[in-house]
Amino acid sequence: MPTVAITTCTDESARRYASALGGNTAVRTLIPGRDSGPPDVLLKGVSGLLVAGNADVGGGGHGAGEGPAAEHGRQKMELGLLASALDRDMPVLALSRGMQLLNLAFGGQPLIEVPSHGTDPDDGDARSARHMVYLSPGSKLAAILGMGGFFRVNSRHRLGVKEGRKSPRLLASAYGLDDGVIEGLESPEHDWVVGVQCCPERQNEVPPAFKNLFIAFTERAERLECE
């Protein structure tokens, strides 16, 4: 059974991602402000890194304190973990905020505000906005999902990456149709490094094929553990 690290802001949030990964994966939750140490130590015995969402990069801390200091601490920790994982060619799944951090880790530019995204402010349950995206059929993400073309996903972010701010080392695999915001990134330099801007752990808000994203990630982590 592979062990994957999930970096997020609360144990409750981590449980949502662990549920999406399934029962055949051991999970190590890493929460800024609670878990500390060199990235290589935090990732010892880990064969996959899931960088989770909960807030836009620069959007403030959630669960680990509020304000710029908490955000800076969280971002520093997550970028350190990403650098260590990428250096080891560990499989990386970067979701929502995680995809934004992935772009920064590869030298991309800071984010910009994007309108008509985020949650519905009139909904007490913080219902996700939804929009149409295009996924390139020739991308690694399309091969993982077993689908390409046009489909609808959730949208819970208010900041995003556009082409001019994307790292030239990363490939954009998906775009929002209404505004051109990048919805998928992948690294051609690594075996399995994939990011999506949506929140696929909210499985009732994305196509069922997104379950394959978690399956492929855990399978690659298991292979790394056996190598």
| DSSP-derived secondary structure letter, 168 | T
* CB 142, CB 209: distance < 8 Å: no
Could you give the CA distance from residue 100 to residue 4 in angstroms, rounded to a whole number?
A: 20
Please report where in the chains the tokens 């997550």 appear, as a residue: 78
pLDDT grade for 64, boundaries at 50, 70 and 90: very low
Express each pLDDT in 17-55 by its tens digit: 999 999 889 999 999 889 999 999 999 999 999 999 766
Contacts of 124 (CB under 8 A, 6+ apart): none
User: Where are the chain's structural domains?
Assistant: 3-226
Tokens of 129: 């906005």
Express each pLDDT in 134-178 by its tens digit: 999 999 999 999 999 999 999 888 888 999 999 999 999 999 998
57: pLDDT strictly greater than 90: no
How many helices, marked H, and strands, marked E, lie in the chain? 6, 11
CATH number of this structure's domain 3-226 = 3.40.50.880
Could you give the CA distance from residue 103 to residue 167 in angstroms, rounded to a whole number?
A: 6
Count of CB atoms situated within 10 Å of the CB of 58: 14
| pTM score | 0.91
